[in-house]
Amino acid sequence: MSVLQHRLLNGWPLFFMIALFSALIMTIGIWLIGVATVEEILALLRLSVQISAPWIYITFIASSLVRLYPNKTSRWVLRNRRYFGLSFAAAMGWQMLFIIVLFSAYMPYYMEVLHKTSDLILRTAAYIVLFAMTITSFYPVRQRMRQQHWRWLHLFGVWLMFLSMWVSYASIVFIEQSTIVAYVLFILGSIALVVRLAAYRLSLQSTEN
């Protein structure tokens, strides 16, 4: 039996392993960084985004990998795309937690330094989409939706989540003071985008032929 067929690396066990890993990183981060100042909360917020990025990247290219490189590994990724997506949502829950802390304890700083009202509206809309994607990832809810509606929600949502993540790291790399982590996540996101577009081009060529 292939390692990728092991029950711990598929389905809900995979999700719980990733979620526990994310929780462990955040717990260590809270212990090492602290939560006493706004700078510490911001550092934890950045950490929560960093642990979220890989899972949306994988979710974003799952079907594209199978189209471009059909093998056991790409099929394993596609088979578990739902759980990678839910892992992203779980990790983003940490970001939401620290945003709530910032908003409640440091509202003037949040509104004046971090985000304008328009940014807050866009962020709220993104969380609403993420919540909708998460809820409709469960089969009882999905079965109550029209397949076309479900497909468009998740197509729009995965692009929105991916671009929000990738563009934020692009702005850090090209505009703000960059870090090694930002460079790595920007490059990985760029690769994911190329893979997705390459698969789309291949599907168009197949249709034309």
Quick one: what percent of the chain has pLDDT higher than 70? Answer: 92
CA distances from 123 to 7, 143, 161, 162 (A): 36, 28, 11, 14
Structure tokens at 108: 């003037």
How many Å apart are CA 85 and CA 105, to the nearest integer? 30
CA distances from 106 to 12, 32, 94, 99, 112 (A): 37, 21, 17, 10, 10
Quick one: what percent of the chain has pLDDT higher than 90? Answer: 65
How many Å apart are CA 49 and CA 92, to the nearest integer? 7
Please identify which residue in the block is written with the tokens 């995979």: 14
Average pLDDT over every residue of 20-25: 96
pLDDT at residue 75 is higher than 70: yes
pLDDT at residue 113 is higher than 70: no
DSSP-based three-state secondary structure for 81: helix
Per-residue confidence (pLDDT) for residue 142, from 0 to 100:
86
Q: Please tell me the pTM assigned to this model.
A: 0.92
Average pLDDT over every residue of 17-45: 93
Average pLDDT over every residue of 98-107: 82
pLDDT at residue 20 is higher than 60: yes
Per-residue confidence (pLDDT) for residue 94, from 0 to 100:
94
94, exposed or middle or buried, with CB in 10 Å at 0-12, 13-18, 19+? buried
121-151 pLDDT per residue, tens? 777 888 899 999 999 998 888 888 899 999 9
Per-residue confidence (pLDDT) for residue 110, from 0 to 100:
67
Comparing CA positions, the residue from 200, 168, 204, 202 lying closest to residue 60 is 200
Comparing CA positions, the residue from 167, 55, 172 lying closest to residue 122 is 167
How many Å apart are CA 169 and CA 179, to the nearest integer? 10
Q: What is the DSSP string of 102-136?
A: HHHHSHHHIIIII--HHHHHHHHHHHHHHHHHHHT
- pLDDT-derived band at 119 (thresholds 50, 70, 90) equals low
Per-residue confidence (pLDDT) for residue 177, from 0 to 100:
78
Confirm if 165 and 89 have CB atoms less than 8 A apart. Answer: no
Whole-number average pLDDT of the chain: 89
pLDDT at residue 118 is higher than 90: no
